[in-house]
Amino acid sequence: ILPFVSVNQILLFLLVLTVCAILYNKVHQVPSALKNETVDLESPEEIEEEIPVVICAAAGRMGATVAAISSIYSNTEADVLFYIVGLKTTIPHIRKWIENSKLKEIKFKVVEFNPMVLKGKIRQDASRPELLQPLNFVRFYLPLLIQKHEKVIYLDDDIIVQGDIQELYDTKLAPGHAAAFSDDCDLPSTHEMVRSVGMQNTYMGFLDYRKQAVRDLGISPSTCSFNPGVIVANMTEWKHQRITKQLEKWMQRNVEENLYSSTLGGGVATPPMLIVFHGKYSTINPMWHIRHLGWSPDTRYSEHFLQEAKLLHWNGRYKPWDYPSVHTDLWENWFIPDPSGKFKLTRPDS
């Protein structure tokens, strides 16, 4: 029996030795494997970053929000997190719409915007009351609504995205710039549209240069304006430069001195941004913001040009869910009917 035990002991010893040798080799290979993995992770192509997209859901316009989200979600493989901003009264409707449609697969957070932050900061103007709606000012308060992201995309609701939102998110912001916008002079194809319907694309169209406070800015009235309906924003810079406080300051000055009004080009939400960001913003690829589709019910872009566009914006009075409007087919491709039946498209035969 003794020799048999000894053999078993020897075999057990050899087995333990073999296991130890294997473990030893594995342990000593780990640093090199980790090193390789770290190199891969640091490569931008390998990082799967969450893309935060902020969009508002306003009463009477929720079909726009749904169509915009639908177009973004359908045209990308990226990990998109939608921040849907609404007022207390509108939030249940948009949540129900999403959860009871094919959009139930999206990642989203509903954020309530408190209009009390605007108290005393908006000058009442009856000519275009829709431009005074509280959600038009959500873009001023991005860092207060979105906490954990370094880089954020803000989009107006009257847009359709035909490209991969990852491309827009990858827009490079120069050091010290808190945001990137589209220059209103950037795309020759839109110049004819601008001339034909009398749109303004300079600061003269947005600010009242008869006012001393505007002249004191030292900004030439012929300076090209930009459109804040599509923004790629750096939250760190935004907070560091106290952009929100600067915007609020100009809102309050307008209440006191009437420096701009909704009878001018961009209502009351664009001028403060034109002032605060003058000379301090990066630019978005022009094809990522083809705008003015809502400016006239008679003026159209060529179909080929629109097919090449990455993002379409119906800024102006003539919205694609109403009538009359242009290029409604491109918008309606992405529209998802309201399960509750409250939101209905306005069409010639309706």
Task: Specify the pLDDT at position 187.
Answer: 65
pLDDT-based confidence at 61, cuts 50/70/90? very high
Q: Is residue 345 part of a domain?
A: no
Other CB atoms closer than 10 Å to residue 242's CB: what's the count? 14
Q: Is the pLDDT of residue 340 over 70?
A: yes
Both tokens assigned to 332 = 């309606």
**Per-residue pLDDT, 34:** 31
How high is the pLDDT of residue 299?
Answer: 84
Q: What is the pairing mode between strands 282-283 and 107-112?
A: unpaired
Q: Is the pLDDT of residue 308 over 70?
A: yes
C-alpha 167/C-alpha 15 separation (Å) is 56
Q: Specify the pLDDT at position 128.
A: 60
| DSSP code at position 172 | P
pLDDT at 205: 86
Mean of the pLDDT values across residues 245-263?
89
Q: Which residue has the higher pLDDT, 82 or 128?
A: 82
Does residue 42 lie within any of the structural domains?
no
Residue 20 has pLDDT above 70, yes or no: no
Q: Are 171 and 310 in contact (CB under 8 A)?
A: no
Q: Is residue 32 part of a domain?
A: no
Count of domains observed in the chain: 1
Q: What is the mean pLDDT of the chain?
A: 86
Closest CA to 288 of 304, 305, 310: 310
- pLDDT score at 239: 98
Burial class (CB in 10 A: 0-12, 13-18, 19+), 140: buried
Q: Are 223 and 202 in contact (CB under 8 A)?
A: yes
| Of the listed ranges 185-194, 276-285, 293-302, the one predicted with least confidence | 185-194
State residue 25's pLDDT score. 55
For residue 213, pLDDT beyond 70? yes
Q: With 50 as the cut, is the pLDDT of residue 44 above it?
A: no
User: 3-class DSSP state for residue 79?
Assistant: coil
According to DSSP, the residues that pair with 291 across neighbouring strands are none
pLDDT classification of 147: cutoffs 50, 70, 90: confident
Helical residues (DSSP H) of the chain, grouped into ranges? 2-42, 62-74, 91-99, 142-145, 165-169, 188-196, 212-215, 235-240, 243-257, 270-276, 303-308, 328-332
For residue 1, tell me if it sits in a domain.
no
pLDDT of amino acid 265: 53
Contact between 299 and 193 under an 8 Å Cβ cutoff? The reply is: yes
b/e map 294-333, b = 16+ CB within 10 Å: bbbeeeebeeeebeebbbbbbbbebbbbbeebbbbebbee
pLDDT higher than threshold 50 for residue 306? yes
The domain of 152 spans 51-185+196-333
Which domain CATH number covers 96?
A: 3.90.550.10
Question: Which pLDDT score is estimated for 241?
Answer: 98
Residue 277 lies in a domain: yes
Query: What is the rounded average pLDDT of the residues 265-287?
Result: 91
